[in-house]
Amino acid sequence: SEGNPFFEPEPEGLLMGVSVQDLVKVYSKSSRSAVDCFNMNFYEGQITSFLGHNGAGKTTTLSILTGLFPPTSGTAYIYGKDIRTEMDEHILFYSLLKGRDRNEAEKEVENMLKDLGLPHKRDEEAQNLSGGMQRKLSVAMAFVGGSKVVILDEPTSGVDPYSRRSIWDLLLKNRTGRTVILSTHHMDEAGLLSDRVAIISKGKLHCSGSPLFLKNCFGVGFYLTLVRHMKDQRKKEVRETSVKGKPPQKYH
């Protein structure tokens, strides 16, 4: 992507948390690559969003990074750990990161409940929470324990606007010192949350950069189309005339 006008230069002075190198994933029943030679670096202290339609390859890429699927070829490094050969260490790494002592854990729980607006659900079983509350709980679980890398696959999908906003606030508040990667369908979400946005289609990375960089590359303004239906307008005029105490005007 070096020299490509659709790719913003890599940020300087930041610690690299995740590095994806020539990643390819081909499922046996499909001839097309779900992920097609994907290369990208992700940095600590930043939120990076994968933006793309259904089937673009977002979930497959995140699944490979979290160890759910092996790559067909290529690899990724999570703070220097190779996902092909050091996945056991990678899981141990996460497990050890979650080793808070009791006092620290309780303090973190209090902060998370407050940030997510869930103090009143403190003693409720997870299965009894609404879908939006369960999603907020899942996001909180990903962040607690000092996780250095947080990967979220469409964390606000199907969530009501209020819960969506709570999740946004939680991500923005807790990105410091972490490498955060999330996928989304929504440009507004990617633009609001992200330090960098990666646009994916058919398993390929087509462009990446800050929201401002992408707007400068592709922004063409907004188009507003207004359609006036005369029949509706006449009904409106009839109602307005009736309110004023005048008989409705007849149209032929």
Q: Which of 84-93, 107-116, 210-219 bottoms out in mean pLDDT, i.e. has the lowest?
A: 84-93
pLDDT tens per residue across span 137-154: 888 888 888 788 999 999
Q: What percent of the chain has pLDDT over 70?
A: 83
- Residue ranges of alpha helices (H) inside the chain are 58-65, 87-97, 102-116, 131-143, 161-173, 187-193, 211-218, 230-243
Report all structural domains of the chain as residue ranges with CATH numbers, in order of start. Answer: 16-243 (3.40.50.300)
Task: Quote the CA–CA distance of 78 and 76 in Å, as a whole number.
Answer: 7
pLDDT at 252: 47
Q: What is the mean pLDDT of the chain?
A: 83
User: Measured between alpha carbons, how far is residue 247 from residues 69, 242, 243 in Å?
Assistant: 72, 6, 9
